[in-house]
């Protein structure tokens, strides 16, 4: 089974979802024509992905291009800096890449964000392709054109909105992930059901075993529905002036928990906990029913995501929650459900209500 989605904002691109790389070369020839064969290609990845997936990926591309280079960096958030970008620029200059050449991001969110940022800025912009290999990057970061790096202690502080020419998702790459990494990605999947698609919530509920067993058709459908939800949002608000903020559902408290636990929990795990609180707040404000709230928490738990957490430092947690107020006229913008399957942002959530919501994690 394969799916194709077309994302149309500043520049249009397709998202292909398949259980192999079989469609990739034809797609590249469709986009670039025979000229693709003469371009230089730089596959950018991290050392973990390069150990288990780079060689087979290079074999695929080498069927239609023999000017392929590879650049790998040390995995992790600490590499997401201007220093790694410097190394990428140096590598591209050393190998005489020009504006007609192409970068390919093969890996998770960090690889995609950094490759996209390098592509947006090298020679004022060259093409890049997203080949996301983690669930999180397949359903979230590879779609929507956000690229960037961290600066000092500030996450994603420097970057650009810059679309890839193609997103190609091979569901087989999910089989290389640890169970915990995979499950962590499911938090963003279930988020789309809460904020955008009630029917998808019911579908997830009835396909938990298939999802956990990495059934190919189930994964393809799950990724399709997630990318479709994200497509609808980013097409209407590419630069996050309004609607795109609904994608932050569960993230305000989730990010604060990431800091509180000193990043011992994974991003998706923290988002799951943040969503439990945001669901509680949505219920308290009368936007979803008790049943909808209970079945939502049950689904998060049935997906093996955490619903309980011991807060280390509540004062610090509140400081983190209020951290990005400066971006919104001094007000905390909080994403809640306006009804089940629909989200909105509000600046009317009080600290008292957040505190009450945090107590559901105990």
Binding site for ligand GLY (CB under 6 A): 140, 144, 146, 240, 244, 247
CB-nearer residue toward ligand GLY: 140 or 258: 140
Would you say 180 and 273 are in contact if contact means Cβ atoms under 8 Å apart?
no
State the virtual CA torsion across 84, 161, 13, 22 in degrees, nearest 10. 20
Residue nearest to ligand GLY (CB): 247
CB-nearer residue toward ligand GLY: 72 or 134: 134
The DSSP code sequence of 238-297 is: TT-SSGGGGGGTTHHHHHHHHHHTTT-S-HHHHHHHHHHHHHHHHHHTTSS-HHHHHHHH
CB-nearer residue toward ligand GLY: 190 or 360: 190
Comparing CA positions, the residue from 262, 238, 240, 254 lying closest to residue 313 is 262
In the complex, least distance from residue 251 CB atom to ligand GLY, rounded to whole angstroms: 8
CB-nearer residue toward ligand GLY: 40 or 230: 230
Beta pairing partners, 107: 132
In the complex, least distance from residue 209 CB atom to ligand GLY, rounded to whole angstroms: 28
CB-nearer residue toward ligand GLY: 221 or 244: 244
Q: How far is 70 from 72, CA to CA, in rounded Å?
A: 7
Helix (H) or strand (E) holding 68: strand 68-73
In the complex, least distance from residue 273 CB atom to ligand GLY, rounded to whole angstroms: 17
CB-nearer residue toward ligand GLY: 247 or 288: 247
Strand runs (DSSP E) across 123-248, as ranges?
127-132, 146-151, 154-161, 166-170
In the complex, least distance from residue 245 CB atom to ligand GLY, rounded to whole angstroms: 8
Beta-carbon contacts of 313 under 8 Å, excluding residues fewer than 6 positions away, are: 260
Q: Which residue has the tokens 């080498």?
A: 62
């Amino acid at each position: 089974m394969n799916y194709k989605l077309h994302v149309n904002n500043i520049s249009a691109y397709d998202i292909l979802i398949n259980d192999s790389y079989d469609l990739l070369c034809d797609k590249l020839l469709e986009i670039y024509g025979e000229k693709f064969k003469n371009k230089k290609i730089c596959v950018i990845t991290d050392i973990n992905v390069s150990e288990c997936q780079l060689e087979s990926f290079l074999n695929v591309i080498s069927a239609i291009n023999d000017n392929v280079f590879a650049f790998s960096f040390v995995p992790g958030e600490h590499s997401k800096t201007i220093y790694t970008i410097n190394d990428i620029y140096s590598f591209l200059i050393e190998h005489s890449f020009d504006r007609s050449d192409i970068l390919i991001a093969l890996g998770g969110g960090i690889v995609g964000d950094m490759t996209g940022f390098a592509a947006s800025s090298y020679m004022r912009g060259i093409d890049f392709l997203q080949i996301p290999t983690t669930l999180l990057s397949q359903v979230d970061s590879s779609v929507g054109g956000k690229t960037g790096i961290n600066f000092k202690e500030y996450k994603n502080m420097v970057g650009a909105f810059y679309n890839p020419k193609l997103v190609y998702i091979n569901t087989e790459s999910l089989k290389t992930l640890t169970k915990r990494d995979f499950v962590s990605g499911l938090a963003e999947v279930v988020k789309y059901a809460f904020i955008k698609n009630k029917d998808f919530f019911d579908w997830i509920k009835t396909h938990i075993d298939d999802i956990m067993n990495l059934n190919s058709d189930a994964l393809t459908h799950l990724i399709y529905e997630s990318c479709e939800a994200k497509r609808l949002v980013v097409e209407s608000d590419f630069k996050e002036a309004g609607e795109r903020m609904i994608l932050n559902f569960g993230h305000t408290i989730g990010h604060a928990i990431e800091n509180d636990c000193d990043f011992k929990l994974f991003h998706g795990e923290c988002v799951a906990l943040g969503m439990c609180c945001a669901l509680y707040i949505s219920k308290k404000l009368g936007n979803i029913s008790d049943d909808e709230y209970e079945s939502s928490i049950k689904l998060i738990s049935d997906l093996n995501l955490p619903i309980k957490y011991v807060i280390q430092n509540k004062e610090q947690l509140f400081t983190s929650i209020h951290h990005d107020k400066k971006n919104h006229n001094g007000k905390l913008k909080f994403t809640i459900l306006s009804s089940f399957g629909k989200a909105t942002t509000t600046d009317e959530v009080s600290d008292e209500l957040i505190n009450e919501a945090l107590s559901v994690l105990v």
